[in-house]
Structure 1
Amino acid sequence: MEPLTDKQIRSSFVNCTKGEAGRMRLPADFAELPWGDLDFLGWIDPGAPLKAHLVLPREDGLVGITLRVPSTGRTSAVKSSLCHACLTGHASSGVTLFAAPLAGTAGREGNTVGTYLCADLACPLYVRGKRQPKLRHGRYEENLTLEEQIARTMDNLSAFADKVLGLR
Protein backbone atom coordinates (compact mmCIF):
# COMPACT_ATOMS: atom_id res chain seq x y z
CA MET A 1 0.00 0.00 0.00
CA GLU A 2 1.22 3.48 -0.78
CA PRO A 3 1.65 5.76 2.26
CA LEU A 4 -1.47 7.84 2.97
CA THR A 5 -1.76 11.35 4.29
CA ASP A 6 -3.96 12.47 7.14
CA LYS A 7 -6.20 14.30 4.64
CA GLN A 8 -6.56 11.24 2.35
CA ILE A 9 -7.53 9.07 5.30
CA ARG A 10 -10.08 11.47 6.80
CA SER A 11 -11.74 12.25 3.47
CA SER A 12 -12.19 8.55 2.63
CA PHE A 13 -14.81 7.71 5.30
CA VAL A 14 -18.22 6.72 3.99
CA ASN A 15 -20.16 5.91 7.17
CA CYS A 16 -19.48 8.79 9.54
CA THR A 17 -19.79 12.56 9.45
CA LYS A 18 -16.95 14.85 8.40
CA GLY A 19 -16.82 16.03 12.01
CA GLU A 20 -16.40 12.48 13.30
CA ALA A 21 -13.70 11.82 10.70
CA GLY A 22 -11.94 15.02 11.76
CA ARG A 23 -11.99 14.04 15.44
CA MET A 24 -10.73 10.46 15.05
CA ARG A 25 -7.17 9.83 16.12
CA LEU A 26 -4.79 8.19 13.72
CA PRO A 27 -2.72 5.21 14.89
CA ALA A 28 -0.23 6.13 17.61
CA ASP A 29 2.60 4.80 15.41
CA PHE A 30 1.34 6.48 12.22
CA ALA A 31 4.77 7.89 11.28
CA GLU A 32 6.37 4.42 11.57
CA LEU A 33 3.72 2.31 9.82
CA PRO A 34 5.20 -0.45 7.60
CA TRP A 35 3.34 0.76 4.47
CA GLY A 36 5.12 -1.77 2.24
CA ASP A 37 3.62 -4.62 4.29
CA LEU A 38 0.09 -3.17 4.45
CA ASP A 39 -2.70 -3.88 1.99
CA PHE A 40 -5.13 -1.74 3.99
CA LEU A 41 -4.89 0.45 7.05
CA GLY A 42 -6.76 -0.71 10.14
CA TRP A 43 -6.52 0.55 13.72
CA ILE A 44 -8.29 0.92 17.04
CA ASP A 45 -8.81 4.61 17.77
CA PRO A 46 -6.36 5.51 20.57
CA GLY A 47 -8.75 8.20 21.84
CA ALA A 48 -11.87 6.00 21.69
CA PRO A 49 -11.02 2.32 22.27
CA LEU A 50 -14.53 1.18 21.35
CA LYS A 51 -14.06 2.58 17.83
CA ALA A 52 -11.90 1.22 15.05
CA HIS A 53 -11.26 2.28 11.48
CA LEU A 54 -10.41 0.63 8.17
CA VAL A 55 -9.15 2.37 5.03
CA LEU A 56 -9.19 0.16 1.95
CA PRO A 57 -7.71 1.00 -1.43
CA ARG A 58 -10.20 0.01 -4.13
CA GLU A 59 -10.41 0.49 -7.88
CA ASP A 60 -12.80 3.41 -7.33
CA GLY A 61 -10.56 5.04 -4.70
CA LEU A 62 -10.07 4.82 -0.96
CA VAL A 63 -12.98 3.67 1.20
CA GLY A 64 -12.80 4.43 4.92
CA ILE A 65 -15.11 2.58 7.29
CA THR A 66 -15.72 3.39 10.95
CA LEU A 67 -16.33 0.34 13.11
CA ARG A 68 -17.69 -0.24 16.59
CA VAL A 69 -15.76 -2.54 18.87
CA PRO A 70 -18.00 -4.38 21.30
CA SER A 71 -17.13 -4.22 24.96
CA THR A 72 -16.61 -7.86 25.81
CA GLY A 73 -16.27 -9.88 28.94
CA ARG A 74 -13.83 -12.70 29.47
CA THR A 75 -13.21 -15.04 26.59
CA SER A 76 -11.77 -18.51 26.70
CA ALA A 77 -8.17 -18.96 25.64
CA VAL A 78 -8.99 -22.62 24.92
CA LYS A 79 -11.37 -21.89 22.04
CA SER A 80 -10.14 -20.57 18.74
CA SER A 81 -11.68 -18.24 16.17
CA LEU A 82 -11.05 -17.40 12.54
CA CYS A 83 -10.76 -13.94 11.01
CA HIS A 84 -13.24 -13.65 8.13
CA ALA A 85 -10.86 -11.48 6.11
CA CYS A 86 -7.44 -13.14 6.24
CA LEU A 87 -8.53 -16.53 7.65
CA THR A 88 -5.94 -16.40 10.43
CA GLY A 89 -6.82 -18.58 13.40
CA HIS A 90 -6.52 -17.00 16.83
CA ALA A 91 -7.33 -17.79 20.40
CA SER A 92 -10.91 -16.57 20.74
CA SER A 93 -9.77 -13.24 22.21
CA GLY A 94 -7.77 -12.56 19.02
CA VAL A 95 -10.87 -12.20 16.84
CA THR A 96 -13.55 -9.56 17.39
CA LEU A 97 -16.95 -8.90 15.88
CA PHE A 98 -16.70 -5.40 14.41
CA ALA A 99 -19.95 -3.64 13.52
CA ALA A 100 -20.10 -0.85 10.94
CA PRO A 101 -22.97 1.59 10.50
CA LEU A 102 -24.20 1.46 6.92
CA ALA A 103 -23.40 4.44 4.72
CA GLY A 104 -26.09 7.08 4.17
CA THR A 105 -29.64 7.13 5.45
CA ALA A 106 -29.65 3.47 6.47
CA GLY A 107 -26.71 4.05 8.81
CA ARG A 108 -28.25 7.20 10.28
CA GLU A 109 -31.32 5.06 11.05
CA GLY A 110 -29.10 2.68 13.06
CA ASN A 111 -28.61 -0.13 10.55
CA THR A 112 -25.29 -1.94 10.77
CA VAL A 113 -23.38 -4.86 9.28
CA GLY A 114 -20.70 -6.84 11.08
CA THR A 115 -17.80 -9.14 10.47
CA TYR A 116 -15.26 -11.04 12.54
CA LEU A 117 -11.73 -9.68 12.08
CA CYS A 118 -8.36 -9.94 13.77
CA ALA A 119 -8.83 -7.94 16.98
CA ASP A 120 -5.75 -5.80 16.23
CA LEU A 121 -6.71 -5.36 12.53
CA ALA A 122 -3.22 -6.52 11.54
CA CYS A 123 -4.35 -9.02 8.88
CA PRO A 124 -1.60 -8.05 6.39
CA LEU A 125 1.09 -8.73 8.99
CA TYR A 126 -0.38 -12.15 9.87
CA VAL A 127 -0.65 -13.13 6.20
CA ARG A 128 2.99 -12.16 5.62
CA GLY A 129 4.20 -13.95 8.78
CA LYS A 130 5.41 -10.66 10.31
CA ARG A 131 3.13 -11.21 13.32
CA GLN A 132 2.13 -14.53 14.85
CA PRO A 133 -1.28 -15.35 16.31
CA LYS A 134 -1.41 -16.62 19.87
CA LEU A 135 -2.22 -20.21 18.98
CA ARG A 136 -0.20 -23.23 19.97
CA HIS A 137 0.38 -24.14 16.31
CA GLY A 138 0.66 -20.62 14.83
CA ARG A 139 -0.90 -19.70 11.50
CA TYR A 140 -2.48 -22.51 9.51
CA GLU A 141 -0.49 -23.81 6.55
CA GLU A 142 -2.00 -23.09 3.13
CA ASN A 143 -1.27 -24.08 -0.44
CA LEU A 144 -2.04 -20.59 -1.73
CA THR A 145 0.79 -18.25 -2.64
CA LEU A 146 1.28 -15.09 -0.60
CA GLU A 147 -0.19 -13.05 -3.48
CA GLU A 148 -3.28 -15.29 -3.54
CA GLN A 149 -3.72 -14.97 0.24
CA ILE A 150 -3.43 -11.17 -0.01
CA ALA A 151 -5.95 -11.09 -2.87
CA ARG A 152 -8.37 -13.25 -0.86
CA THR A 153 -8.04 -10.98 2.18
CA MET A 154 -8.71 -7.89 0.08
CA ASP A 155 -11.63 -9.55 -1.72
CA ASN A 156 -13.18 -10.43 1.65
CA LEU A 157 -12.73 -6.88 2.96
CA SER A 158 -14.02 -5.41 -0.30
CA ALA A 159 -17.17 -7.54 0.02
CA PHE A 160 -17.63 -6.18 3.55
CA ALA A 161 -17.14 -2.61 2.24
CA ASP A 162 -19.77 -3.31 -0.44
CA LYS A 163 -22.22 -4.23 2.32
CA VAL A 164 -21.45 -1.01 4.22
CA LEU A 165 -21.98 0.96 0.99
CA GLY A 166 -25.26 -0.85 0.31
CA LEU A 167 -23.96 -2.45 -2.89
CA ARG A 168 -24.70 -6.01 -1.69
Structure 2
Amino acid sequence: MQALAESEVRSVFANAHDAELEQVSLPVGFFVTEWAHLDAFGWRDPRIPSRGYLVTEIDGEPVGIVLRAADRTGSHHRAAICSLCHTQQPGDQVLLFSARRAGAAGERGDSVGTYICSDLACQETVRLGRPPAPSEVVPTVREIERIEGVAQRTRAFVADVVTG
Protein backbone atom coordinates (compact mmCIF):
# COMPACT_ATOMS: atom_id res chain seq x y z
CA MET A 1 0.00 0.00 0.00
CA GLN A 2 1.28 3.48 -0.81
CA ALA A 3 2.26 5.68 2.12
CA LEU A 4 -0.33 8.28 3.06
CA ALA A 5 0.08 11.55 4.92
CA GLU A 6 -2.47 12.59 7.54
CA SER A 7 -4.21 14.99 5.14
CA GLU A 8 -4.42 12.25 2.50
CA VAL A 9 -5.98 9.81 4.94
CA ARG A 10 -8.63 12.37 5.88
CA SER A 11 -9.51 12.90 2.21
CA VAL A 12 -10.14 9.27 1.20
CA PHE A 13 -13.25 8.43 3.24
CA ALA A 14 -16.03 7.82 0.74
CA ASN A 15 -18.86 7.51 3.25
CA ALA A 16 -18.03 10.36 5.66
CA HIS A 17 -19.65 13.74 6.16
CA ASP A 18 -17.49 16.83 6.69
CA ALA A 19 -18.23 16.82 10.43
CA GLU A 20 -17.01 13.21 10.69
CA LEU A 21 -13.83 14.03 8.79
CA GLU A 22 -13.04 16.80 11.27
CA GLN A 23 -13.34 14.30 14.13
CA VAL A 24 -11.01 11.63 12.69
CA SER A 25 -8.29 10.78 15.18
CA LEU A 26 -5.34 8.88 13.81
CA PRO A 27 -3.79 6.08 15.86
CA VAL A 28 -0.80 6.83 18.05
CA GLY A 29 1.60 4.90 15.80
CA PHE A 30 0.36 6.42 12.53
CA PHE A 31 3.60 8.24 11.75
CA VAL A 32 5.67 5.06 12.02
CA THR A 33 3.34 2.89 9.94
CA GLU A 34 5.17 0.58 7.54
CA TRP A 35 2.82 1.12 4.59
CA ALA A 36 4.77 -1.11 2.19
CA HIS A 37 3.85 -4.16 4.30
CA LEU A 38 0.11 -3.41 4.40
CA ASP A 39 -2.76 -4.09 2.03
CA ALA A 40 -5.11 -2.10 4.25
CA PHE A 41 -4.88 0.16 7.27
CA GLY A 42 -7.52 -0.13 9.97
CA TRP A 43 -7.86 1.43 13.41
CA ARG A 44 -10.31 2.35 16.14
CA ASP A 45 -10.72 6.02 16.91
CA PRO A 46 -8.92 6.71 20.21
CA ARG A 47 -11.40 9.50 21.08
CA ILE A 48 -14.63 7.89 19.79
CA PRO A 49 -14.41 4.19 20.73
CA SER A 50 -17.50 3.20 18.73
CA ARG A 51 -15.91 4.45 15.51
CA GLY A 52 -13.35 2.73 13.33
CA TYR A 53 -11.70 3.40 9.99
CA LEU A 54 -10.56 1.15 7.19
CA VAL A 55 -8.39 2.34 4.29
CA THR A 56 -7.26 0.18 1.38
CA GLU A 57 -6.36 0.59 -2.27
CA ILE A 58 -8.82 -0.12 -5.05
CA ASP A 59 -7.48 0.12 -8.59
CA GLY A 60 -4.31 1.70 -7.20
CA GLU A 61 -6.14 4.53 -5.40
CA PRO A 62 -6.61 4.81 -1.63
CA VAL A 63 -10.23 4.49 -0.50
CA GLY A 64 -11.46 4.61 3.06
CA ILE A 65 -14.66 4.00 4.97
CA VAL A 66 -15.89 5.02 8.39
CA LEU A 67 -17.16 2.13 10.51
CA ARG A 68 -19.37 1.98 13.56
CA ALA A 69 -18.96 -0.81 16.10
CA ALA A 70 -22.15 -2.41 17.36
CA ASP A 71 -22.80 -2.36 21.09
CA ARG A 72 -21.61 -5.51 22.77
CA THR A 73 -24.46 -7.62 23.99
CA GLY A 74 -24.91 -11.20 25.01
CA SER A 75 -22.33 -13.80 25.85
CA HIS A 76 -18.71 -13.36 24.80
CA HIS A 77 -17.28 -16.64 26.03
CA ARG A 78 -17.71 -18.30 22.65
CA ALA A 79 -15.30 -18.08 19.77
CA ALA A 80 -15.99 -15.98 16.69
CA ILE A 81 -14.42 -15.69 13.26
CA CYS A 82 -13.49 -12.41 11.60
CA SER A 83 -14.99 -12.07 8.12
CA LEU A 84 -11.88 -10.35 6.77
CA CYS A 85 -8.92 -12.31 8.13
CA HIS A 86 -10.81 -15.55 8.87
CA THR A 87 -9.06 -15.77 12.23
CA GLN A 88 -10.84 -17.46 15.10
CA GLN A 89 -10.83 -15.21 18.15
CA PRO A 90 -12.52 -15.15 21.55
CA GLY A 91 -16.03 -13.76 21.06
CA ASP A 92 -15.22 -10.42 22.69
CA GLN A 93 -12.47 -9.77 20.15
CA VAL A 94 -14.74 -9.84 17.08
CA LEU A 95 -17.43 -7.18 16.63
CA LEU A 96 -20.13 -6.36 14.15
CA PHE A 97 -19.04 -3.23 12.31
CA SER A 98 -21.42 -1.37 10.05
CA ALA A 99 -20.67 1.28 7.45
CA ARG A 100 -23.10 3.75 5.93
CA ARG A 101 -23.04 3.33 2.17
CA ALA A 102 -21.50 6.16 0.18
CA GLY A 103 -23.62 8.59 -1.82
CA ALA A 104 -27.39 8.63 -2.16
CA ALA A 105 -27.77 5.14 -0.70
CA GLY A 106 -26.09 6.24 2.51
CA GLU A 107 -28.22 9.38 2.65
CA ARG A 108 -31.28 7.09 2.56
CA GLY A 109 -29.84 5.20 5.52
CA ASP A 110 -28.51 2.14 3.71
CA SER A 111 -25.60 0.44 5.41
CA VAL A 112 -23.64 -2.78 5.24
CA GLY A 113 -22.03 -4.69 8.09
CA THR A 114 -19.71 -7.55 8.80
CA TYR A 115 -17.87 -9.14 11.70
CA ILE A 116 -14.30 -7.86 12.04
CA CYS A 117 -11.54 -8.13 14.64
CA SER A 118 -12.42 -5.54 17.29
CA ASP A 119 -9.02 -3.81 16.98
CA LEU A 120 -9.27 -3.72 13.14
CA ALA A 121 -5.76 -5.17 13.01
CA CYS A 122 -6.51 -7.97 10.53
CA GLN A 123 -3.48 -7.04 8.43
CA GLU A 124 -1.16 -7.66 11.37
CA THR A 125 -3.07 -10.72 12.56
CA VAL A 126 -2.54 -12.67 9.34
CA ARG A 127 1.12 -11.75 9.33
CA LEU A 128 1.68 -13.04 12.85
CA GLY A 129 2.91 -16.54 12.99
CA ARG A 130 5.69 -18.62 14.18
CA PRO A 131 9.03 -16.84 14.04
CA PRO A 132 10.91 -17.99 10.95
CA ALA A 133 13.96 -20.15 11.36
CA PRO A 134 17.17 -18.68 9.88
CA SER A 135 16.72 -20.75 6.74
CA GLU A 136 13.02 -19.86 6.50
CA VAL A 137 12.94 -16.25 5.33
CA VAL A 138 10.23 -16.72 2.68
CA PRO A 139 6.60 -16.97 3.84
CA THR A 140 4.90 -20.28 3.22
CA VAL A 141 2.24 -20.67 0.53
CA ARG A 142 -0.42 -20.82 3.25
CA GLU A 143 0.78 -17.55 4.79
CA ILE A 144 0.77 -15.86 1.38
CA GLU A 145 -2.75 -17.15 0.72
CA ARG A 146 -3.96 -15.78 4.08
CA ILE A 147 -2.41 -12.37 3.38
CA GLU A 148 -3.88 -12.24 -0.13
CA GLY A 149 -7.24 -13.43 1.17
CA VAL A 150 -7.59 -10.70 3.77
CA ALA A 151 -6.52 -8.12 1.17
CA GLN A 152 -9.17 -9.32 -1.30
CA ARG A 153 -11.95 -9.50 1.30
CA THR A 154 -11.06 -6.06 2.65
CA ARG A 155 -11.12 -4.51 -0.83
CA ALA A 156 -14.43 -6.24 -1.59
CA PHE A 157 -16.02 -4.97 1.64
CA VAL A 158 -14.81 -1.40 1.07
CA ALA A 159 -15.94 -1.52 -2.57
CA ASP A 160 -19.37 -2.76 -1.47
CA VAL A 161 -19.73 0.22 0.88
CA VAL A 162 -18.54 2.68 -1.76
CA THR A 163 -20.39 1.40 -4.83
CA GLY A 164 -23.16 -0.75 -3.37
TM-score, length basis structure 2? 0.85
Partners of 1:5 and 1:75 in 2: CA distance: 40
Q: Alpha carbon RMSD of aligned pairs, Å?
A: 2.0
Asked if 1:166 corresponds to 2:130, the answer is no
User: Where does the alignment leave 5 or more consecutive residues of structure 2 unmatched?
Assistant: 131-139
Aligned residue type for 2:31: A
In the other structure, the counterpart of 1:33 is 33
Q: How far off is 1:162 after superposition?
A: 2.1
Partners of 2:121 and 2:155 in 1: CA distance: 16
User: Where does the alignment leave 5 or more consecutive residues of structure 1 unmatched?
Assistant: 132-142
Describe how 1:1-168 pairs up with structure 2 within 5 A: 1-73=1-73, 75-77=75-77, 79-129=78-128, 144-167=141-164
Indicate if the aligned counterparts of 1:94 and 1:118 stay in contact, CA closer than 8 A.
yes
Partners of 1:158 and 1:125 in 2: CA distance: 16
Partners of 1:85 and 1:17 in 2: CA distance: 25
Indicate if the aligned counterparts of 2:126 and 2:143 stay in contact, CA closer than 8 A.
yes
Structure 1 counterpart SS, 2:150:
helix
Distance 1:99 1:145, change over 3 A: same
Structure 1 counterpart SS, 2:156:
helix
In the other structure, the counterpart of 1:139 is none
- What is the aligned residue count? 155
Indicate if the aligned counterparts of 1:12 and 1:63 stay in contact, CA closer than 8 A.
yes
Q: How far off is 1:120 after superposition?
A: 0.6
Structure 1 counterpart SS, 2:161:
helix
Indicate if the aligned counterparts of 2:15 and 2:106 stay in contact, CA closer than 8 A.
yes
Aligned residue type for 2:114: T
Percentage identity across paired residues of the two chains: 35
Q: How far off is 1:147 after superposition?
A: 2.2
Structure 2 counterpart SS, 1:100:
strand
Q: How far off is 1:63 after superposition?
A: 0.8
